[in-house]
A and B are shown apart, each in its own frame.
Chain A
Protein backbone atom coordinates (compact mmCIF):
# COMPACT_ATOMS: atom_id res chain seq x y z
CA UNK A 1 0.00 0.00 0.00
CA UNK A 2 0.98 3.62 -0.26
CA UNK A 3 1.98 5.45 2.91
CA UNK A 4 1.94 9.22 2.91
CA UNK A 5 4.85 10.64 4.92
CA UNK A 6 4.62 14.03 6.68
CA UNK A 7 7.47 16.48 6.31
CA UNK A 8 9.00 15.87 9.78
CA UNK A 9 9.67 12.24 8.84
CA UNK A 10 10.96 12.71 5.31
CA UNK A 11 14.57 12.87 6.45
CA UNK A 12 14.14 9.11 6.88
CA UNK A 13 12.58 8.51 3.44
CA UNK A 14 15.09 10.38 1.30
CA UNK A 15 12.52 13.17 1.12
CA UNK A 16 9.89 10.94 -0.48
CA UNK A 17 6.35 12.03 0.40
CA UNK A 18 4.82 8.67 -0.54
CA UNK A 19 6.42 5.28 0.00
CA UNK A 20 5.29 1.68 -0.29
CA UNK A 21 4.90 -0.56 2.74
CA UNK A 22 3.10 -3.78 3.61
CA UNK A 23 1.27 -5.11 6.64
CA UNK A 24 -2.06 -6.34 7.97
CA UNK A 25 -2.29 -3.71 10.71
CA UNK A 26 -1.07 -0.16 11.17
CA UNK A 27 1.60 -1.49 13.53
CA UNK A 28 2.78 -3.98 10.93
CA UNK A 29 2.97 -1.28 8.27
CA UNK A 30 5.02 0.90 10.61
CA UNK A 31 7.31 -2.06 11.34
CA UNK A 32 7.81 -2.49 7.61
CA UNK A 33 8.58 1.21 7.29
CA UNK A 34 11.19 0.84 10.03
CA UNK A 35 12.83 -2.03 8.17
CA UNK A 36 13.11 0.16 5.10
CA UNK A 37 13.88 3.41 6.87
CA UNK A 38 15.63 2.54 10.14
CA UNK A 39 14.73 4.78 13.04
CA UNK A 40 11.47 6.15 11.63
CA UNK A 41 9.29 4.06 13.97
CA UNK A 42 10.64 5.36 17.26
CA UNK A 43 10.00 8.93 16.23
CA UNK A 44 6.24 8.22 15.96
CA UNK A 45 5.68 5.20 18.24
CA UNK A 46 7.07 5.01 21.78
CA UNK A 47 8.78 2.02 23.38
CA UNK A 48 5.48 0.78 24.80
CA UNK A 49 3.93 0.63 21.34
CA UNK A 50 1.83 3.78 21.73
CA UNK A 51 1.44 6.29 18.92
CA UNK A 52 3.13 9.50 20.08
CA UNK A 53 0.66 12.12 21.20
CA UNK A 54 1.26 14.59 18.39
CA UNK A 55 1.19 12.07 15.56
CA UNK A 56 -1.89 10.86 13.73
CA UNK A 57 -2.66 8.00 11.35
CA UNK A 58 -5.52 8.27 8.89
CA UNK A 59 -7.07 5.11 7.40
CA UNK A 60 -9.97 5.52 4.99
CA UNK A 61 -10.14 9.20 6.02
CA UNK A 62 -10.63 8.21 9.67
CA UNK A 63 -8.15 9.14 12.40
CA UNK A 64 -6.92 5.95 14.10
CA UNK A 65 -4.84 5.80 17.28
CA UNK A 66 -5.16 2.06 17.79
CA UNK A 67 -2.20 0.61 15.98
CA UNK A 68 -3.80 -2.86 15.94
CA UNK A 69 -6.40 -1.52 13.50
CA UNK A 70 -6.60 -3.73 10.41
CA UNK A 71 -5.55 -2.23 7.12
CA UNK A 72 -6.39 -5.31 5.06
CA UNK A 73 -7.53 -4.18 1.63
CA UNK A 74 -6.56 -0.57 2.29
CA UNK A 75 -4.68 1.04 -0.56
CA UNK A 76 -3.26 4.00 1.28
CA UNK A 77 -2.68 5.30 4.81
CA UNK A 78 -1.57 8.75 5.79
CA UNK A 79 0.80 9.64 8.62
CA UNK A 80 0.30 13.19 9.83
CA UNK A 81 1.66 15.54 12.42
CA UNK A 82 -0.99 17.08 14.70
CA UNK A 83 -1.38 20.81 15.03
CA UNK A 84 -0.95 20.31 18.77
CA UNK A 85 2.71 19.50 18.34
CA UNK A 86 3.67 22.92 17.04
CA UNK A 87 6.23 24.92 18.96
Chain B
Protein backbone atom coordinates (compact mmCIF):
# COMPACT_ATOMS: atom_id res chain seq x y z
CA UNK B 1 0.00 0.00 0.00
CA UNK B 2 1.32 3.42 -0.91
CA UNK B 3 2.45 5.62 1.93
CA UNK B 4 -0.06 8.36 2.56
CA UNK B 5 1.28 11.69 3.69
CA UNK B 6 -0.19 12.65 7.04
CA UNK B 7 -0.37 16.32 7.83
CA UNK B 8 1.64 16.96 10.97
CA UNK B 9 -0.07 20.21 11.76
CA UNK B 10 -3.47 21.77 11.21
CA UNK B 11 -3.40 25.43 10.24
CA UNK B 12 -4.88 27.93 12.65
CA UNK B 13 -4.88 31.65 12.03
CA UNK B 14 -2.57 33.52 9.65
CA UNK B 15 -2.81 37.24 10.32
CA UNK B 16 -3.97 39.85 12.78
CA UNK B 17 -6.75 42.16 11.70
CA UNK B 18 -7.14 45.48 13.48
CA UNK B 19 -10.55 46.14 14.94
CA UNK B 20 -12.36 49.46 14.59
CA UNK B 21 -10.29 50.21 11.46
CA UNK B 22 -7.27 51.45 13.38
CA UNK B 23 -3.80 51.21 11.85
CA UNK B 24 -1.48 48.48 12.96
CA UNK B 25 -0.63 48.76 16.63
CA UNK B 26 1.52 47.09 19.24
CA UNK B 27 0.12 43.92 20.77
CA UNK B 28 1.90 44.26 24.08
CA UNK B 29 -1.30 44.26 26.12
CA UNK B 30 -3.71 41.50 27.05
CA UNK B 31 -4.41 38.59 24.71
CA UNK B 32 -7.88 37.08 25.01
CA UNK B 33 -8.48 33.48 24.01
CA UNK B 34 -12.07 33.14 22.81
CA UNK B 35 -13.73 29.73 22.45
CA UNK B 36 -17.12 29.57 20.75
CA UNK B 37 -19.70 27.09 19.61
CA UNK B 38 -18.22 27.30 16.13
CA UNK B 39 -14.50 27.85 16.48
CA UNK B 40 -11.90 29.94 18.29
CA UNK B 41 -10.43 33.42 17.93
CA UNK B 42 -7.72 35.54 19.54
CA UNK B 43 -8.19 39.18 20.50
CA UNK B 44 -5.03 41.15 21.31
CA UNK B 45 -4.77 44.61 22.83
CA UNK B 46 -2.17 47.32 22.70
CA UNK B 47 -0.22 48.04 25.87
CA UNK B 48 -2.57 50.91 26.70
CA UNK B 49 -5.60 48.70 25.91
CA UNK B 50 -6.96 51.32 23.49
CA UNK B 51 -6.49 49.36 20.27
CA UNK B 52 -7.36 45.76 19.56
CA UNK B 53 -6.79 43.20 16.84
CA UNK B 54 -8.36 39.87 16.14
CA UNK B 55 -7.04 36.64 14.63
CA UNK B 56 -9.05 33.65 13.49
CA UNK B 57 -11.12 31.70 13.06
CA UNK B 58 -9.33 28.60 14.22
CA UNK B 59 -11.12 25.27 13.78
CA UNK B 60 -14.17 26.93 12.30
CA UNK B 61 -17.26 24.85 13.02
CA UNK B 62 -15.71 23.02 15.95
CA UNK B 63 -17.30 23.36 19.38
CA UNK B 64 -14.50 24.95 21.42
CA UNK B 65 -15.33 24.75 25.11
CA UNK B 66 -12.03 26.04 26.46
CA UNK B 67 -8.82 27.58 25.13
CA UNK B 68 -6.05 28.06 27.69
CA UNK B 69 -2.41 29.17 27.60
CA UNK B 70 0.10 27.55 29.93
CA UNK B 71 0.94 30.35 32.37
CA UNK B 72 4.20 28.57 33.22
CA UNK B 73 5.89 28.47 29.81
CA UNK B 74 3.64 31.14 28.28
CA UNK B 75 3.82 29.17 25.02
CA UNK B 76 1.76 25.98 25.15
CA UNK B 77 -1.83 26.54 24.11
CA UNK B 78 -4.44 23.81 24.60
CA UNK B 79 -7.92 23.68 23.09
CA UNK B 80 -10.80 21.44 24.18
CA UNK B 81 -12.80 20.74 21.04
CA UNK B 82 -15.22 18.46 19.27
CA UNK B 83 -17.64 18.76 16.39
CA UNK B 84 -21.28 17.87 16.01
CA UNK B 85 -20.30 14.48 14.62
CA UNK B 86 -16.83 13.71 15.89
CA UNK B 87 -15.67 12.74 19.33
CA UNK B 88 -13.97 15.06 21.80
CA UNK B 89 -10.29 15.82 21.66
CA UNK B 90 -7.55 18.24 22.66
CA UNK B 91 -5.51 20.27 20.19
CA UNK B 92 -2.12 21.76 21.03
CA UNK B 93 -0.23 24.73 19.67
CA UNK B 94 3.20 26.14 20.43
CA UNK B 95 2.97 29.18 18.15
CA UNK B 96 -0.07 30.93 19.64
CA UNK B 97 -2.46 29.09 17.39
CA UNK B 98 -0.87 29.45 13.97
CA UNK B 99 -0.51 25.67 13.75
CA UNK B 100 -2.03 22.87 15.79
CA UNK B 101 -1.49 19.17 16.44
CA UNK B 102 -3.93 16.79 18.04
CA UNK B 103 -3.21 15.03 21.33
CA UNK B 104 -1.91 11.53 20.66
CA UNK B 105 -4.15 10.21 23.45
CA UNK B 106 -7.11 12.52 24.16
CA UNK B 107 -8.88 12.30 27.53
CA UNK B 108 -10.80 9.02 27.74
CA UNK B 109 -12.11 6.65 30.37
CA UNK B 110 -10.45 3.25 30.46
CA UNK B 111 -11.62 0.65 27.99
CA UNK B 112 -13.88 -1.78 29.82
CA UNK B 113 -14.80 0.87 32.36
CA UNK B 114 -17.22 -0.54 34.94
CA UNK B 115 -19.76 2.21 34.20
CA UNK B 116 -19.13 1.92 30.42
CA UNK B 117 -18.44 5.65 30.40
CA UNK B 118 -17.10 7.49 27.41
CA UNK B 119 -16.05 11.12 27.27
CA UNK B 120 -18.69 13.15 25.46
CA UNK B 121 -17.06 16.55 25.90
CA UNK B 122 -13.76 17.88 27.17
CA UNK B 123 -15.08 20.90 28.99
CA UNK B 124 -12.36 22.45 31.14
CA UNK B 125 -8.56 22.76 31.02
CA UNK B 126 -6.29 23.79 33.89
CA UNK B 127 -2.48 23.92 33.88
CA UNK B 128 -0.92 22.10 36.82
CA UNK B 129 1.22 23.46 39.62
CA UNK B 130 4.15 25.75 38.86
CA UNK B 131 6.50 23.04 40.16
CA UNK B 132 5.11 20.49 37.71
CA UNK B 133 5.80 21.80 34.22
CA UNK B 134 3.89 19.92 31.57
CA UNK B 135 1.16 18.77 33.93
CA UNK B 136 -2.40 19.67 32.94
CA UNK B 137 -5.83 18.64 34.15
CA UNK B 138 -8.98 18.27 32.06
CA UNK B 139 -12.60 18.06 33.19
CA UNK B 140 -15.15 16.26 31.07
CA UNK B 141 -18.74 15.32 30.56
CA UNK B 142 -19.70 12.94 32.06
CA UNK B 143 -17.91 14.06 35.19
CA UNK B 144 -14.45 12.69 34.52
CA UNK B 145 -11.09 14.11 35.56
CA UNK B 146 -7.98 13.52 33.48
CA UNK B 147 -4.31 14.40 33.79
CA UNK B 148 -1.51 14.91 31.30
CA UNK B 149 2.17 14.84 32.25
CA UNK B 150 3.44 15.77 28.79
CA UNK B 151 1.87 19.14 28.09
CA UNK B 152 -1.40 17.75 26.82
CA UNK B 153 -0.16 15.17 24.31
CA UNK B 154 -1.38 12.13 26.24
CA UNK B 155 -4.01 12.00 28.97
CA UNK B 156 -4.66 9.48 31.70
CA UNK B 157 -7.68 8.93 33.91
CA UNK B 158 -7.36 10.35 37.44
CA UNK B 159 -8.52 7.06 38.86
CA UNK B 160 -8.76 8.39 42.41
CA UNK B 161 -11.69 10.44 41.13
CA UNK B 162 -13.08 8.53 38.15
CA UNK B 163 -13.01 5.18 39.98
CA UNK B 164 -13.75 6.53 43.46
CA UNK B 165 -16.10 4.23 45.36
CA UNK B 166 -18.58 7.12 45.68
CA UNK B 167 -18.21 8.50 42.15
CA UNK B 168 -21.50 7.12 40.85
CA UNK B 169 -23.32 8.50 43.90
CA UNK B 170 -21.69 11.91 43.73
CA UNK B 171 -22.21 12.13 39.98
CA UNK B 172 -25.78 10.78 40.23
CA UNK B 173 -24.82 8.24 37.59
CA UNK B 174 -26.58 7.29 35.41
CA UNK B 175 -29.63 9.39 36.34
CA UNK B 176 -27.71 12.62 36.13
CA UNK B 177 -28.95 16.03 37.21
CA UNK B 178 -26.52 17.68 34.88
CA UNK B 179 -26.40 20.81 32.80
CA UNK B 180 -28.45 20.94 29.59
CA UNK B 181 -25.36 19.83 27.67
CA UNK B 182 -24.48 17.07 30.12
CA UNK B 183 -22.93 16.80 33.54
CA UNK B 184 -19.46 18.28 33.78
CA UNK B 185 -16.32 18.58 35.84
CA UNK B 186 -15.25 22.22 35.83
CA UNK B 187 -13.32 24.69 37.98
CA UNK B 188 -10.30 22.42 38.39
CA UNK B 189 -8.15 24.29 40.91
CA UNK B 190 -4.58 23.56 42.00
CA UNK B 191 -3.54 25.25 45.26
CA UNK B 192 -0.50 27.38 44.34
CA UNK B 193 1.10 26.38 47.67
CA UNK B 194 0.55 22.65 47.37
CA UNK B 195 0.35 20.69 44.13
CA UNK B 196 -1.45 17.84 45.90
CA UNK B 197 -4.28 20.11 47.06
CA UNK B 198 -6.99 20.13 44.41
CA UNK B 199 -10.56 21.35 44.14
CA UNK B 200 -13.10 20.52 41.42
CA UNK B 201 -16.67 21.60 40.73
CA UNK B 202 -19.36 19.26 39.46
CA UNK B 203 -22.48 20.46 37.69
CA UNK B 204 -24.25 18.82 39.20
CA UNK B 205 -22.71 17.25 42.22
CA UNK B 206 -21.00 19.99 44.18
CA UNK B 207 -17.48 21.09 45.13
CA UNK B 208 -14.97 18.37 46.04
CA UNK B 209 -11.51 18.61 47.57
CA UNK B 210 -8.47 16.36 47.43
CA UNK B 211 -5.45 16.66 49.70
CA UNK B 212 -3.43 13.89 48.09
CA UNK B 213 -3.11 14.80 44.44
CA UNK B 214 -6.46 13.33 43.46
CA UNK B 215 -6.24 9.91 45.12
CA UNK B 216 -9.16 10.63 47.44
CA UNK B 217 -11.89 13.26 47.54
CA UNK B 218 -14.27 14.85 50.03
CA UNK B 219 -17.40 16.92 49.39
CA UNK B 220 -17.03 20.59 50.36
CA UNK B 221 -20.52 22.05 50.16
CA UNK B 222 -21.41 23.08 53.69
CA UNK B 223 -23.48 26.24 53.72
CA UNK B 224 -24.44 26.03 50.04
CA UNK B 225 -28.12 26.10 49.18
CA UNK B 226 -29.71 23.45 47.02
CA UNK B 227 -33.17 24.81 46.32
CA UNK B 228 -33.85 22.23 43.61
CA UNK B 229 -33.32 19.18 45.83
CA UNK B 230 -35.54 17.59 48.48
CA UNK B 231 -32.78 17.64 51.14
CA UNK B 232 -31.33 21.15 51.32
CA UNK B 233 -28.71 19.98 53.83
CA UNK B 234 -27.29 17.15 51.75
CA UNK B 235 -23.51 16.75 51.70
CA UNK B 236 -23.35 16.77 47.89
CA UNK B 237 -25.61 17.16 44.87
CA UNK B 238 -25.15 20.92 44.66
CA UNK B 239 -24.61 22.86 41.46
CA UNK B 240 -21.57 25.11 41.60
CA UNK B 241 -21.34 27.05 38.34
CA UNK B 242 -17.86 28.49 38.79
CA UNK B 243 -15.32 28.23 41.63
CA UNK B 244 -12.21 30.43 41.91
CA UNK B 245 -9.28 30.42 44.30
CA UNK B 246 -7.53 33.68 44.98
CA UNK B 247 -4.06 33.35 43.42
CA UNK B 248 -2.32 35.50 46.03
CA UNK B 249 -4.43 34.45 49.02
CA UNK B 250 -5.25 30.82 48.30
CA UNK B 251 -7.12 30.24 51.55
CA UNK B 252 -9.91 32.30 50.02
CA UNK B 253 -12.32 30.81 47.50
CA UNK B 254 -15.34 32.30 45.80
CA UNK B 255 -18.16 30.42 44.16
CA UNK B 256 -20.99 31.36 41.83
CA UNK B 257 -23.52 28.61 42.40
CA UNK B 258 -26.85 27.75 40.80
CA UNK B 259 -28.22 28.86 44.17
CA UNK B 260 -26.21 31.90 45.20
CA UNK B 261 -22.79 33.55 45.50
CA UNK B 262 -20.47 32.26 48.23
CA UNK B 263 -17.09 32.88 49.86
CA UNK B 264 -15.06 30.35 51.80
CA UNK B 265 -12.05 31.21 53.95
CA UNK B 266 -10.11 28.05 54.72
CA UNK B 267 -9.64 26.18 56.93
CA UNK B 268 -13.37 26.74 57.42
CA UNK B 269 -15.55 24.27 55.53
CA UNK B 270 -18.81 26.22 55.50
CA UNK B 271 -19.44 28.58 52.61
CA UNK B 272 -20.80 32.03 53.46
CA UNK B 273 -23.60 33.24 51.15
CA UNK B 274 -22.31 36.70 50.26
CA UNK B 275 -24.93 36.87 47.50
CA UNK B 276 -27.46 37.69 50.20
CA UNK B 277 -25.94 41.18 50.07
CA UNK B 278 -26.87 41.63 46.41
CA UNK B 279 -29.93 43.78 45.61
CA UNK B 280 -33.01 41.62 46.08
CA UNK B 281 -34.44 42.50 42.66
CA UNK B 282 -31.22 41.34 40.98
CA UNK B 283 -30.64 38.21 43.02
CA UNK B 284 -27.41 36.24 43.16
CA UNK B 285 -27.72 33.75 40.32
CA UNK B 286 -25.21 33.62 37.48
CA UNK B 287 -22.56 31.54 35.79
CA UNK B 288 -19.13 33.23 36.13
CA UNK B 289 -17.22 34.80 39.00
CA UNK B 290 -13.84 36.46 38.55
CA UNK B 291 -11.34 37.67 41.12
CA UNK B 292 -9.03 40.67 41.27
CA UNK B 293 -5.51 39.29 40.81
CA UNK B 294 -4.11 41.10 43.88
CA UNK B 295 -7.00 42.13 46.12
CA UNK B 296 -8.76 39.14 47.70
CA UNK B 297 -11.76 41.29 48.64
CA UNK B 298 -12.60 42.22 45.04
CA UNK B 299 -14.67 39.98 42.76
CA UNK B 300 -16.99 40.40 39.78
CA UNK B 301 -20.14 38.51 38.85
CA UNK B 302 -22.59 38.75 35.94
CA UNK B 303 -26.07 38.19 37.38
CA UNK B 304 -28.72 36.39 35.40
CA UNK B 305 -32.41 35.76 35.78
CA UNK B 306 -33.00 32.60 37.80
CA UNK B 307 -36.71 33.13 38.32
CA UNK B 308 -39.71 31.46 36.74
CA UNK B 309 -38.44 29.17 33.96
CA UNK B 310 -34.85 30.36 34.39
CA UNK B 311 -34.29 32.54 31.30
CA UNK B 312 -30.61 32.86 32.28
CA UNK B 313 -30.50 36.32 30.70
CA UNK B 314 -29.66 39.51 32.58
CA UNK B 315 -32.35 40.40 35.14
CA UNK B 316 -34.97 42.57 33.44
CA UNK B 317 -32.85 42.48 30.28
CA UNK B 318 -30.43 45.05 31.69
CA UNK B 319 -26.88 43.66 31.44
CA UNK B 320 -24.45 44.59 34.21
CA UNK B 321 -21.57 43.29 36.19
CA UNK B 322 -21.63 43.61 39.95
CA UNK B 323 -18.44 44.10 41.90
CA UNK B 324 -17.65 43.65 45.56
CA UNK B 325 -14.61 45.31 47.09
CA UNK B 326 -15.16 44.07 50.63
CA UNK B 327 -15.33 40.32 50.25
CA UNK B 328 -19.02 40.28 49.45
CA UNK B 329 -20.37 42.45 52.24
CA UNK B 330 -21.63 44.90 49.61
CA UNK B 331 -21.98 44.99 45.84
CA UNK B 332 -22.00 47.82 43.31
CA UNK B 333 -23.65 47.78 39.89
CA UNK B 334 -21.44 48.41 36.83
CA UNK B 335 -23.30 49.02 33.59
CA UNK B 336 -21.73 52.14 32.06
CA UNK B 337 -21.34 51.51 28.36
CA UNK B 338 -23.38 48.32 28.35
CA UNK B 339 -26.64 48.27 26.39
CA UNK B 340 -29.68 49.53 28.25
CA UNK B 341 -31.46 46.42 27.09
CA UNK B 342 -29.83 43.15 26.11
CA UNK B 343 -30.95 39.56 26.34
CA UNK B 344 -27.73 37.73 26.76
CA UNK B 345 -25.92 35.27 28.98
CA UNK B 346 -22.29 35.05 30.04
CA UNK B 347 -21.23 31.44 30.51
CA UNK B 348 -19.04 30.17 33.32
CA UNK B 349 -15.73 30.27 31.41
CA UNK B 350 -16.53 33.48 29.57
CA UNK B 351 -15.31 36.11 32.05
CA UNK B 352 -11.69 36.89 32.81
CA UNK B 353 -9.31 39.54 34.14
CA UNK B 354 -5.94 40.71 32.91
CA UNK B 355 -2.73 41.34 34.86
CA UNK B 356 -2.45 45.10 34.34
CA UNK B 357 -3.18 48.03 36.66
CA UNK B 358 -5.95 48.92 36.91
CA UNK B 359 -7.27 45.42 36.30
CA UNK B 360 -8.99 44.87 32.98
CA UNK B 361 -12.18 42.82 33.09
CA UNK B 362 -13.57 41.03 30.03
CA UNK B 363 -16.57 38.90 29.19
CA UNK B 364 -18.00 37.17 26.14
CA UNK B 365 -21.71 36.73 25.54
CA UNK B 366 -23.98 34.09 24.11
CA UNK B 367 -24.70 36.71 21.43
CA UNK B 368 -21.12 36.60 20.21
CA UNK B 369 -19.82 39.85 21.67
CA UNK B 370 -16.63 40.43 23.63
CA UNK B 371 -16.79 43.34 26.08
CA UNK B 372 -13.86 44.98 27.86
CA UNK B 373 -13.35 47.30 30.76
CA UNK B 374 -9.83 48.67 31.26
CA UNK B 375 -10.84 50.20 34.60
CA UNK B 376 -12.14 47.34 36.74
CA UNK B 377 -15.67 47.50 35.39
CA UNK B 378 -16.22 51.27 35.72
CA UNK B 379 -16.85 51.54 31.98
CA UNK B 380 -17.45 48.96 29.28
CA UNK B 381 -16.74 48.91 25.56
CA UNK B 382 -17.46 46.25 22.94
CA UNK B 383 -14.35 44.82 21.32
CA UNK B 384 -15.87 42.28 18.94
CA UNK B 385 -19.37 41.59 17.69
CA UNK B 386 -20.99 38.88 15.58
CA UNK B 387 -18.98 35.91 16.73
CA UNK B 388 -20.80 32.62 17.34
CA UNK B 389 -22.10 31.90 20.84
CA UNK B 390 -19.15 32.42 23.17
CA UNK B 391 -18.29 29.60 25.55
CA UNK B 392 -15.01 30.84 27.03
CA UNK B 393 -12.80 33.91 27.32
CA UNK B 394 -9.42 33.51 28.99
CA UNK B 395 -6.70 36.08 29.48
CA UNK B 396 -3.22 35.11 28.32
CA UNK B 397 0.21 36.67 28.53
CA UNK B 398 2.11 34.87 25.76
CA UNK B 399 5.81 35.26 25.04
CA UNK B 400 5.12 35.36 21.30
CA UNK B 401 3.16 38.44 20.29
CA UNK B 402 4.19 38.78 16.66
Do A43 and B4 have beta carbons less than 8 Å apart?
Answer: no
Do A52 and B4 have beta carbons less than 8 Å apart?
Answer: no
8 Å CB contacts to A: which residues of B101-146? Answer: 102, 104, 106, 108-113, 116-119
| CB-defined contacts of A6 to chain B, threshold 8 Å | 85
Do A48 and B113 have beta carbons less than 8 Å apart?
Answer: yes
* Closest A residue by C-beta to B117: A48
| CB-defined contacts of A43 to chain B, threshold 8 Å | 86-87, 89
Do B85 and A42 have beta carbons less than 8 Å apart?
Answer: no
* Closest B residue by C-beta to A39: B102
Do B113 and A87 have beta carbons less than 8 Å apart?
Answer: no
* Closest B residue by C-beta to A50: B118
* Closest B residue by C-beta to A32: B1
8 Å CB contacts to B: which residues of A1-53? Answer: 6, 8-9, 11-14, 16, 19-20, 36-39, 42-50, 52
Do A47 and B84 have beta carbons less than 8 Å apart?
Answer: no
In angstroms, Cα B199 to Cα A69, docked, is: 44
| CB-defined contacts of A48 to chain B, threshold 8 Å | 109, 111-113, 116-118
| CB-defined contacts of B5 to chain A, threshold 8 Å | 14
8 Å CB contacts to B: which residues of A49-87? Answer: 49-50, 52, 54-55, 81-82, 85-87
Do A44 and B10 have beta carbons less than 8 Å apart?
Answer: no
- What is the distance, in angstroms, from B162's C-beta to the closest C-beta of chain A? 12
* Closest B residue by C-beta to A11: B10
Q: Indicate the member of A11, A16, A37, A43 with the most B CB atoms within 10 Å.
A: A43
Nearest 4 pairs of A and B residues by beta carbon: A46-B118, A85-B85, A85-B84, A81-B85
Residues of B within 8 A of A (CB): 1, 4-7, 10, 37-38, 61, 63, 83-87, 89, 102, 104, 106, 108-113, 116-119
Do A37 and B4 have beta carbons less than 8 Å apart?
Answer: yes
In angstroms, Cα B61 to Cα A47, docked, is: 24
Do B85 and A20 have beta carbons less than 8 Å apart?
Answer: no
In angstroms, Cα B108 to Cα A49, docked, is: 12
- What is the distance, in angstroms, from A26's C-beta to the closest C-beta of chain B? 17
- What is the distance, in angstroms, from A47's C-beta to the closest C-beta of chain B? 4
* Closest A residue by C-beta to B111: A47
Do A47 and B110 have beta carbons less than 8 Å apart?
Answer: yes
Do A47 and B86 have beta carbons less than 8 Å apart?
Answer: no
* Closest B residue by C-beta to A22: B1
What's the A-B contact tally at a CB cutoff of 8 Å? 75
9 pairs across A/B with beta carbons < 8 Å? A8-B83, A12-B6, A14-B7, A16-B4, A19-B4, A48-B111, A85-B84, A87-B38, A87-B61
Q: Indicate the member of B63, B85, B116 with the most A CB atoms within 10 Å.
A: B85
Q: Indicate the member of A9, A39, A82 with the most B CB atoms within 10 Å.
A: A39
- A86: contacting residue among B37, B84, B118, CB under 8 A: B84
* Closest B residue by C-beta to A41: B87
- A47: contacting residue among B4, B104, B109, CB under 8 A: B109
Excluding A14-B4, A36-B4, A46-B118, 16 further A-B contacts by CB distance (< 8 Å) are A6-B85, A8-B83, A11-B10, A12-B6, A13-B4, A38-B6, A42-B89, A42-B108, A44-B86, A45-B87, A46-B119, A47-B119, A48-B117, A55-B86, A85-B85, A86-B84
| CB-defined contacts of A55 to chain B, threshold 8 Å | 85-86
Q: Indicate the member of A12, A14, A46 with the most B CB atoms within 10 Å.
A: A46
Given A38-B104, A87-B63, do A44 and B7 touch, yes or no (CB 8 Å)? no
In angstroms, Cα B84 to Cα A65, docked, is: 18
Do B104 and A52 have beta carbons less than 8 Å apart?
Answer: no
Do B4 and A85 have beta carbons less than 8 Å apart?
Answer: no
| CB-defined contacts of A42 to chain B, threshold 8 Å | 87, 89, 106, 108
| CB-defined contacts of B119 to chain A, threshold 8 Å | 46-47
| CB-defined contacts of A37 to chain B, threshold 8 Å | 4, 6
| CB-defined contacts of A46 to chain B, threshold 8 Å | 87, 108, 118-119
Do A87 and B86 have beta carbons less than 8 Å apart?
Answer: no
| CB-defined contacts of B61 to chain A, threshold 8 Å | 87
| CB-defined contacts of B4 to chain A, threshold 8 Å | 13-14, 16, 19, 36-37
Do A9 and B63 have beta carbons less than 8 Å apart?
Answer: no
- What is the distance, in angstroms, from A9's C-beta to the closest C-beta of chain B? 7
Do B86 and A8 have beta carbons less than 8 Å apart?
Answer: yes
| CB-defined contacts of B118 to chain A, threshold 8 Å | 46-48, 50
- What is the distance, in angstroms, from A87's C-beta to the closest C-beta of chain B? 4
Do B10 and A8 have beta carbons less than 8 Å apart?
Answer: no
